[in-house]
Amino acid sequence: MDTTINLTIDEKRVSVPAGTTILEAAEGCGVRIPRLCYHPDLSLMGSCRVCVVDVKDIGFYMAACSSPVWEGMVVQTNSPHIRQARRDIVELLLDNHPKECQICERDGNCELQNLAYDLGVRERLFEGERKRFPLEVSGRSVIRDSEKCVLCGRCYRVCAEVQGVHNLSQHGRGFTTVVTPAHGADMDDSVCIQCGQCINVCPTAAFLEKKHSDQVWAAIADPTIHVIAQTAPSIRAAIGEGFGLPPGTPATGKMISALRLLGFDAVVDTDFGADLTIVEESHELLKRLENGGPLPMITSCSPGWISFMEKFYPQLIPHASTCRSPMGMASVLLKTYYAEKTEKDPKKIFVVSIMPCVAKKFEAQRPEHFTPDGTPYTDAVLTTREAIWMIKSYGIQFADLPNGQFDSPLRIATGAGDIFGTTGGVMEATLRTASELLTGKPAEKLEFTEVRAVEGLRELEIPIGDRVLNVGVANGLHNARELLDKIVSGEKHFDVVEVMACPGGCIGGGGQPYPPIGMKVLDPELLRLRASALYEIDGGKQLRRSHENPSIKILYDEFLGEIGGPKAHELLHTEYSAKKPRGI
Amino acid sequence: METTTDNWNEVMAKSREALPAQILNYIAAVMEGPEPHSQLISVLHRVQGHFGWLGTEQIDAVAQLMRIPQAKVTGVATFYHFFRLKPRGKFMVHVCLGTACYVKGASEIAERFKEELGVDFGETSKDGMFSLENSRCLGTCGLAPVVMIDEEVHGKVKPEQVRALLDTYRTKAREG
């Protein structure tokens, strides 16, 4: 249907395709109608009514987000009355909202707060009963503050529509309506996979990551503890946004300098762990191809995906690579190899992972990732957002910092490690190394650009030597389900599959900075810019294949022994098990 | 495909154990028909009809067997007033708090029931005998204040009659 509809918006005649909403049509003529529950990538809800407009001959104000235009429609988007109506709506939301903006985690980047300011709410008129709900802070990754919830429904829409998890729903009715998992369960007792996309799309602070900054401040302040920061690939592509740098600015060097100023005793590169993951994982793939399976091998870097597999697709557990994540590998090495080399007591080493990811907080607390004496290899996990505010609180002028260098021996990483942070990156890094392993000779092809893209699902045939690898790449678990169902049913054969839980991969992780003004959460353009920063870093490196990393070679020579050997297996690999509740 | 790590059979067995055969059959039939998910409320009605309320195990079983996410099922079950998420007592006590009953002192009657049973509205007495609910007009305003216990209507109830009223049902229960 390509019928065109003619209508009038604010006395301007416009033509738009049938099915366009008033809100979309207005954007086309330069009016951004205020909105709250609306999100362009999610289903329409129309629950907040902030986007009301006046449509001629209709006796009530219509919600612009959920009203399709019709022929001859006459819309007025602004008038003193409409402005008053919107302000009244926002004031009523505020009346049922804690008055603690100054001490709220979202102060300054809260959509409700911004809306109240834009609409001119400058005084509070009513004082009455507010909804009261306890804080739910038991989750290892995601915490809930239902008193700050405005029932916009973005969290449960993203959980269902983008992540395919369906963990959240509105419960009860009227004044006591609350968004929770089934049975009002705590987050970690539910089918939550800890991806944190609910945090990303929440307009307020009803969902937040579990804070680890207090532990980190305490460790930094203790002179007897050697505090090491490791930074994930995608941090360098996004952290600059927190300090006013344009999205897509690579900021590796400034990030390292800032962390040193913050008081970390050492700063190392999680990308080194990524290179190591590729070396081990490619070896594992080769073994599986030689031994007849189980195939496909599915990547295991994304802890949100791992949780999803354990709850929703436990039958695929034999397919998941047994490799720990790059974070997991790096943390193990810091408390073994690094401790040995620098002659430090591992018990006095405090490993802080700076991650784009909320699920990494959960991963770090899994007993599979504990040292033999029962303490975690990764002591604390900071999201990009937490790292940004910690740097800000020291008054560090990030943009003006000189470029720092990572510390040995987890210093050098290849470009293959950098691209781990974006969808398709783990696949490309695997192919760069596996193609040499499979053919037994140095591969000519370096860039597998066919696996690069921001869309959620790709199925490709990659020729390597005289064989063809069937590969699948998925980001966003709703997309992944399509691919996983094919594997379960046997409808299609894959050799290797990359799954990243979050849209766009780690660059769109649940712990990444809230989007800058003018960009929406999950904006493909924002994700593209962050990905381009990683490809830029990769392109500028001499070393771009993980197995060519000289430090990795030294690591095996000095410490691990053989690739895929007993010591590597003991330290770098892990296991999974089916978890309950079983997801649907 | 290896299934040693899969818990599917265990989950499905537990789901089937939680529901009686006639409801399992009903769900099976619904799943064969068009738009099975639109039958969720009707399935929940049957579960409540059988058990008197919706327990966690039953809700999870319905979710698994109908392939509807648990959060959606509990969302529906908590939204509709009709669905009970706590066990119901042997007898349902409805105290009318509609306008006519209210002006005739229903709130005092309600208080007396709460005292006698040691529960609030929406709760069930410790002995499992009475569930206390409030209603908004039972349509017999001429008899205000009205209390309905199961299907029996008691009119012009006085606070001092409450204990005796409950006792008649206790006796009834004892005598089967």
A440: CATH: 3.40.50.1780
What DSSP state is assigned to residue A50? Answer: T
The CA distances from residue A212 to A188, A347, B70, in Å, are: 17, 19, 31
Which residues, other chains included, contact A40 with Cβ-Cβ below 8 Å and sequence gap of 6+?
A520
CB-nearest to B75 from A170, A488, A576 is A170
Q: What is the pTM of this model?
A: 0.92
CA distance A492 to chain B (A): 14
State the ipTM, two decimals: 0.93
Tokens of A92: 């009523």
Give CA–CA dist B125/A241, Å, rounded.
58
Q: Is A32 a domain residue?
A: yes
Using a CB-CB cut-off of 8 Å, the residues of chain A touching B74 are 169, 171, 182-184
Name the domain boundary from A24, A52, A78: A78
Written as six digits, the tokens of B19 are 């529901």
pLDDT score recorded for residue B2:
36
Please say which residue of A78, A104, A129 terminates a domain.
A78
Strand partners, A573: A323
Of A191, A578, A580, the CB nearest to B6: A578
Both structure tokens of A258: 């800032």
Residue type, B61: A
CA distance B96 to chain A (A): 21
| Interface residue A293 vs chain B (CB under 8 A) | no
Catalytic residue of the set A105, A111, A147, A363:
A363
d(CA A535, CA A182): 41
User: Looking at the complex, does the CB of residue A578 fall below 8 Å from at least one CB of chain B?
Assistant: yes
The answer to whether A363 is a known catalytic residue is yes
Alpha helix ranges (H) inside A263-301: 270-291
Chain A nearest-CA distance from B128, in A, is 23
Q: What share of chain B is helix, strand, coil (3-state, %, to 5)?
A: 55, 10, 35
The tokens of A43 are what?
């289903």
Check CB contact under 8 Å for A191 and B1.
no
Give the pLDDT confidence score for residue B1 in this predicted structure.
37
A180 is a domain residue: no
Does residue A127 have an active-site annotation? no
**Neighbour count for residue A217 (Cβ, 10 Å):** 14
| A355 token code pair | 């991650």
* Residue A259 belongs to some domain of the structure: yes
B121 pLDDT tier (thresholds 50, 70, 90): very high
User: Counting one residue from A and one from B, how many pairs have CB atoms under 8 Å apart?
Assistant: 83
Kindly name the residue from A152, A155, A195, A301 that is annotated as catalytic.
A301
- Give me the catalytic one of A48, A198, A202, A506: A506
The class of domain B91-174 in CATH terms is: alpha beta
Tokens linked to A104 = 């709220």
Question: What chain A residue is nearest to B69 in terms of C-alpha separation?
Answer: A584
Q: Which of residues 294 through 353 in chain A touch B, CB cutoff 8 A?
A: 294, 314-315, 317-318
Whether the link from the prior residue into A515 is cis, omega within 30° of 0, is no
* Domain span at A388: 214-572
Residue contact A578–B5, C-beta within 8 A: yes
What's the CATH number where A24 sits?
3.10.20.740
| Residue A2: predicted pLDDT | 65
Residue A459 among the catalytic residues: no
Question: How far is residue A182 CA from its own chain's centroid?
Answer: 23
Hey, is the C-beta of A441 within 8 angstroms of any chain B C-beta? no
Q: Which residues of B touch A172 (CB under 8 A)?
A: 78-79
Q: Cβ of A169 under 8 Å from any chain B Cβ?
A: yes
Task: Look at residue A270 and tell me if it is in a domain.
Answer: yes
Q: Which of A111, A360, A428, A435 is catalytic?
A: A360
Closest Cβ opposite residue A584 in set B2, B5, B64: B64
What is the SS3 assignment for A226?
strand
Q: Name the residue among B6, B69, B74 with its Cβ closest to that of A584.
A: B69
Please give, rounded to a whole number of angstroms, the shortest distance from the CA of B52 to a CA of chain A: 18
Q: Give the mutation candidate from A183, A189, A198, A577 for the B interface (greatest B CB count, under 10 A).
A: A183
Active site residue A301: yes
Task: Give the Cα separation of A229 and A584 in Å (integer).
Answer: 38
Question: One-letter amino acid identity for B163?
Answer: R
**A183, A318, A578 member nearest B7 (Cβ):** A578
SS3 call for B34: coil
Number of domains into which chain A is organized = 2
Residues of chain A found within 8 Å of residue B2, distances taken between Cβ atoms: 294, 315, 318
User: Which helix (H) or strand (E) covers residue B110, if one does?
Assistant: helix B106-117
Q: Vertex A66, ends A64 and A67: CA angle to 5°?
A: 65
User: Quick one: CA dihedral A442, A444, A448, A450, positive or negative?
Assistant: negative
Give the DSSP per-residue string, A84-95: HHHHHHHHHHHH
- Sort out which chain B residues have CB atoms less than 8 A from A315's CB and list them: 1-3, 5-6, 8
| Backbone φ, ψ for residue A480 (5° rounding) | -60, -35
Is B4 a residue whose pLDDT tops 70? no
CB B78 within 8 A of CB A172: yes
CB of A291 within 8 Å of a chain B CB? The answer is no
Chain B interface includes A489 (CB < 8 A): no
Q: Which residue of A has its CA nearest to B74?
A: A182
Residues from B contacting A (CB-CB < 8 Å) are 1-3, 5-8, 11, 56, 59-60, 63-64, 67-75, 78-79, 81
For residue A42, tell me if it sits in a domain.
yes
Q: How far apart are CA A432 and CA A244, in angstroms?
A: 35
Identify whether the C-beta of residue A515 lies closer than 8 Å to the C-beta of residue A202: no
Query: For B71, which of A181, A294, A576 is closest by C-beta distance?
Result: A181
Whether A452 is in a domain gets the answer yes
- Residue A502: active-site member: no
A284 catalytic per annotation: yes
List CB contacts of A376: < 8 A, sequence separation 6 or more: A331, A364, A365, A369, A370
For the cut 80, the answer to whether the pLDDT of residue B5 exceeds it is: no
Question: Is the CA virtual torsion A286, A291, A296, A300 positive or negative?
Answer: negative
**Residue A382 pairs with which residues in a beta bridge?**
A354
Q: How confident is the model at residue B88 (pLDDT cuts 50, 70, 90)?
A: confident
Identify the bridge partners of residue A497 per DSSP, sorted by sequence position.
A298, A472
Q: List CB contacts of A84: < 8 A, sequence separation 6 or more.
A: none
Q: Does residue A554 form part of some domain?
A: yes
Q: Classify residue A30: in a domain, yes or no.
A: yes
Q: How close does chain B come to A305, measured CA to CA in Å?
A: 16
Domain assignments of chain B as residue spans, ordered by start: 8-79, 91-174
Can you say how many angstroms the Cα of residue A253 is from the centroid of all Cα atoms in its chain?
Answer: 22
Q: What is the mean pLDDT of chain B?
A: 93
A582 vs B contacts (CB less than 8 Å): 7-8, 11, 64
**Separation in Å, CA of B101 to nearest CA in chain A:** 25
Yes or no, beta carbons of B69 and A172 under 8 Å apart: no
Q: Choose among A318, A250, A547: nearest CA to B6.
A: A318
For chain A, 584 residues long, the average pLDDT of each consecutive 10-residue run is 88 95 94 94 94 95 96 96 96 94 94 94 88 96 97 97 97 94 96 97 97 98 98 97 95 98 98 97 95 94 97 96 98 97 97 98 97 96 97 96 95 94 95 91 86 86 92 96 96 96 96 83 89 95 95 96 96 96 95
> Residue B74 and residue A583: Cβ atoms within 8 Å?
no
pLDDT band at B41 (very low <50, low <70, confident <90, very high): very high
Q: Residues of B with CB below 8 A from A169's CB?
A: 69, 71-72, 74-75
Which among B1, B2, B56 has CB closest to A183? B56
Does A368 qualify as catalytic in the annotation? yes
Q: Which of A100, A340, A368, A558 is catalytic?
A: A368
CA of A506 to nearest chain B CA: how many angstroms apart? 26
Which of A37, A58, A78 represents a domain boundary (last residue)?
A: A78
User: Is A582 in contact with B64 (Cβ distance < 8 A)?
Assistant: yes
